[in-house]
Amino acid sequence: MPEINNSSSSSTKEVPESIMICLDTSNWMENTESPMFKEQLEAIELYCDNIFKSNSETVVGVFGMADLNLHTMIRPTKNIRAIKRAIDGAIIGGNLRLLPAATRAHFHWFSRYHTDLQKRIVFFAGGPLYSPLGEGRALGMRMRKINVRCDVISFGDPYMEKRELFNTFIQIADNNKGNCNVCHVPPEYSVPQALSRSKIINPCVGVGSSSPPPSTHKEMAIQICVKSPPSRAKDANTDCPFCQRVLLILEEKNLPYVTHPIDLDNKPEWFAEANPDGLLPLIRFDGGQWVSNSDVIVEMIEMKHPGTPLITPPYYACLGLRIPQKLLAFLKKENERTHHALLAELMILEEHLLENGPYVNGGDVTTVDLSLAPKLYHLVKACEHFKNWTILEEFTKVFNYTNLLFERPSFKKTKPLPEDVTAGWEDRKLKS
């Protein structure tokens, strides 16, 4: 489930609020038509719809949070259409500026409009945040001093060093009152999906359960729940690339584990109790609590089992992150723009491998390779099936890289059936 601080819901409003949404308009968004920006807009619409229903007197405005758009985009209003139009007209460019955005917005906005309402700032941050931890502490102290409640929705590259800063900021700003929350969006879920399951939106979200699954295996073995493949074929592996990523790491570290395939259309009762959000993969070590979010799981595996280290330097970890987004856009609507965007992602990887290969970090496989392997396998199978296009032949280094990955014993043991991969992408095309 999305990692969330505190137990109260920000969306349960006892009093009306004047809310400022700090919008990610950084270079990372590329443009207002990119999948990342559209996900952010969809999540903001969800948020606004929820808080307007919670209290009809609440008002919301939007403030740009990057160098080229560090100003008010729309003053506080109850008009969700006006908010959407303002966001559609955003100027993209520069780096995220957390502290300046909050400071300027408070000075120019909260001191002028709706001064009688409780104030709240909601930060949407997808791109990298080039701020020291001390800036998060300072902002938290300032928001607490002037009684401004805060929420953070952190998404995008999980290795952009935002987790610790945002956790620190929210913890200080909240001061154990339960009015501030942070939602770290797992890479396997969209921003709206994770937000809808977070305490920012849903006050009933739990933090998991230690209830065991019905299993006769030894409790000391690692228990991992994965998505059932579409075919439900006996012994077929999960088609979820994020679940396979975790399985690959367990295999590479030669750790004993027991898998529990979960049919998301017919969840077993124990799974619903252990994981109210229904997010996968889900893992449990040594009979402890269940944990979701593949990034958190990978970190925990490395911490608990440091033998055969697979740690990737943070500056390499963003490679290929956007491939699934670009692939989905291409499969849904093939045109020059979506085609070029997908090729551009592969060219970045091609150029990196040319200088640093055969693996991302040189001669040894690391976690980023094990994250890329399922993504590239899905890319190959989906393009072959839906577009009759052997895409990787255009990229020699990437092609050789995939052969290395796909021939590893860990990948052969955990790879899904091609028909399950294509069935999964067909379902994504219909739902998106």
Encoding tokens for residue 347? 């060219």
Q: Which of 225, 240, 243, 383 is catalytic?
A: 240
Cα–Cα dist 374/32, whole Å = 28
Contact between 75 and 113 under an 8 Å Cβ cutoff? The reply is yes
- Angle subtended at Cα 225 by Cα 224 and Cα 226, rounded to the nearest 5 degrees: 115
Encoding tokens for residue 371? 């994250």
Contact between 10 and 52 under an 8 Å Cβ cutoff? The reply is no
Kindly report the number of other CB atoms within 10 A of residue 406's CB atom: 14
CB-count exposure of residue 300 (10 Å: 0-12, 13-18, 19+): middle
Q: Which pairing describes strands 17-23 and 118-125: parallel, antiparallel, or unpaired?
A: parallel
Tell me which long-range contacts 399-408 makes (C-beta under 8 A, separation of at least 24).
400/353, 400/357, 400/358, 401/349, 401/353, 401/357, 401/358, 401/359, 401/376, 402/373, 402/376, 402/377, 404/358, 404/359, 405/365, 405/369, 405/372, 405/373, 405/376, 406/373, 406/377, 408/252, 408/365, 408/373
Give the dihedral sign, CA 149/153/158/159.
negative
Cα–Cα dist 55/190, whole Å = 26
Would you call 243 a catalytic residue per the annotation? no
Please state the separation of Cα 416 from the chain's center in Å.
23
> Which residues are catalytically annotated?
240
